[in-house]
Structure 1
Amino acid sequence: MPTAKDVLLQLARGLEHIHKKGLVHRDLKPENVLIWVDPNTQKVLMKWADFGLSKRVNEKGSYSMQSGVKGTLDYSAPEILKLLEKEDTSTSTDGTTSPNTRGNIKSDVFAEGLVFGYFLLGGVHLFYSGSRYHIQSNIIEKEPPNLPKIQFKDIRTLIQKMLEKDPHKRITSSDVTQELQEIEMSINNSIFAEDTYPSLEEVEILLQKEMDINSVDEKGLTPLLHLALPKKNEGDNLVEIFRLLITKGANVHCETENKMNALHLLCEHYKNENFIDLVKLLIEKGINVNCEKKRWNAFNWLCKMYPHNNLLELVKVFIASGIKTTTDGMLFSSYVIITKKKI
C-alpha cells in the first residue's frame, strides 16, 4: 500500500480532476474508494468510484437539487443535511426540493475530509461520539470529536479546513491537492535543506510522518543521496540513519543526474572512521560498487580522499565485493595507497 499521505494525495488529485471536468460526485464515502493495482508496475492506485449520482455543475460550481438530497447521509456536508430538516414550503410532498435550491461542489470536499479521517483513524468516523445515530446531528451542530486523534498536525489542520461548516469559506478540491503537496515537500525538505546530518531521532520523527523516502528534490536527489553529500558535522550516527532508511524501503540503487550513487558520493566526501561500517551496509544491500563518474568508481575516490589509517581494511572490503580494478584511476589509486604508506 502507498503511504498514508500518498493515499490522501491520490484521492485529492482524483477529486480535483472530477471537479475540473465540471462534475460533482455527491456520494464520496469509504465504500466508493477503488483500490487498483497497475499490472505492469504493481503500483497501488486509489481512485474514486460510483458516479451514479454525479451531476454537472455551472461555472460557479453549483447545481440544481430539485430532485432532492442524494448520497450517503453520514458522509454528507452540513448544508446538505440541513435541507432534510426544512419543513417550509420549499420542500414539496413528493420528496423533491424547490427548483431554486442549489447545491455546491464544495460539499464533495467536506465528504472527502470525512473519508480522509476515516482512513487515518482506521475505520472511525470523525463525527462518531458513541452512537452512529448522532453522526448526522454532530456534522450539523458540532466540531469533529475524533479529529484530535489524527496523529499528523499538518493533516489535522488541512482536514479542519475541509470540514468548514460554511461552504463559501471551505477550501476547494484544488486547494486540498496543493496543501497536501506542500506538506509532502516540507517534510522532505527537512532533510534536503540542512547542511548538517540530522539526528536519528529526527529521522524517526520524519518516518512517523510518513515522508516519501524515495522522493526526488529539485536537484534530482533522494534523501539517501542527499545524506551522502558533505555536511558540516561529523555524522557519527550516519550508519544507523542509513540502516533505518534502507529498512523502511529507501532505494540504495538511486543515482544522481551524473550517475553517481550513494557509495560513490560517500567515498568522495565522507571522512568519518566509521565509514567501513557504512560501506559494508551498502554492499550488503546490493549497491553497485562499480558505479562510475568519468571512469572513476567509488574505490578511486576512496583512495584519493579517505584520510584514516583503516584505508587498507576498506580496500579489502571493496576488493571482496568485486570492485573493478581496470578503470583509468586504478593506477593512481594504487600509487596513493603506497604513498600514504597504508600497505
Structure 2
Amino acid sequence: MTCVFESARTAVYAPLTHHLYTQVIFQLTVRCLSGTEIADDDAVVALLKRQYDVLAETTPTTVLLPWLPTPAMVRKLRATKVVYDTVVAAVDARERGGCARDDTLQLLLDAGDDRATIIGFIMGLLVAGARATGTTASWLVVYLSAYPEWRVEAKEEILRLLATHATESATSPLQARLASIPLAAWEADTPVFDALIRETLRIAQPHTAIRKNLGPDVLVDGKLVPAGAHVVYPFSDVHLDEALYPSPWVFDPTRPARQGKMEYLGFGGGNTVCLGNRLAKMMIKLSTGMFLLAFESSVVDATGIALAEAPVPDWNDAVHARPTRPCYLEYERTKVIL
C-alpha cells in the first residue's frame, strides 16, 4: 500500500507500505493510552513507533529458540528497554512536576496503581496501535479506494453524522466538527462503518490465537490437549472458510453477520475479546472519516492504471498483512477545508 502527498492527482507514486496510517493510528493510541509527556513530543512518538516495529520482527529462530541470544533477539531486548525507559521517564516527570493532566497516566496515578502496573499497562496497550489497528485502518482505506460505491456510502454516513449530531458550526474546522459528535452517535449511528470494519478485519487481519492449557487435560473437538500444551488456532480456519464466507477473498460488507459459535473472530472470541475494541473502532472511524471528506482516492498500479481487482492481503505476512502484489493509492484533495 503506498500513498502520495499531493494536493492534486499526480502520476508520482511514493512507496509507503501503509506507513501513513500506522503512524496516524499509533499517534492516536499514544494520545489515548499514555501521557501528554509522550504524546506531545513528536520525536518521542516516532522513537516509540520504531521500537515497536523492531519488537514485531519475527524470525524462525526467535520462534523456535526464544532463549538463544540471536541478533534479532538482542534488538528486541534493546527496543524493549528503550520503550521501558521512555515510559518511566514520563511517569517520573509527572510525579516530579506535580501537575495533574487529563490523560490515562493521570487516571492510573490517581487510582493508586503501583509503578509496575502503570508502566506495564502503557507498554502493553501501545502494541495494538502499533500493529493491528493501524493495519486495519490502512486496508479499509485501500478497500474504500478500490470500491467507489462503498466509499460513497461511507462518506454519506459521515456527512449525516455531521448534519445530525455535530454541535460545531459548519464554518468550524473539520476536525472540530467531527470531535463535537457524541461518542454514542459514533458507536450507534454508523452501521455502514461497522460493516466495513467487520469485513476488513475478516480479510486483512491474519491473526493466530495461542493458548496454553494450564491443566487439567482437556478434550477439544475430540482431540486431547494435555496440561502444559499449547493450542494454536489460525483465524483463517474461520475467516477464509468458503462454507462460512463464499468467495472469501472478495470484500463484501453486505455479508450477514455470522452468529454461530466462533464463526467470526475479528476482535477475538469466547472469554478472550479485545478490551480495546471500542477505542480501535472509534479511531478507525474518525481517521477514515477525515480521509474520505478530505480526499478522493483510487488504487492503481505503478504506471497509474486503475487495478481491475482490489489487492489481496498476504496472510503469510502476519505482522503487516501487506498486499501480495505491490499497489499504490492515488488521491487528490477535495474542497473540504480541514
Instruction: Give TM-score, length-normalised by structure 2.
Output: 0.23
For CA contacts below 8 A with separation 6 or more, give which structure has more relative contact order: 2
TM-score for the superposition, normalised by structure 1: 0.23
Larger radius of gyration: 1
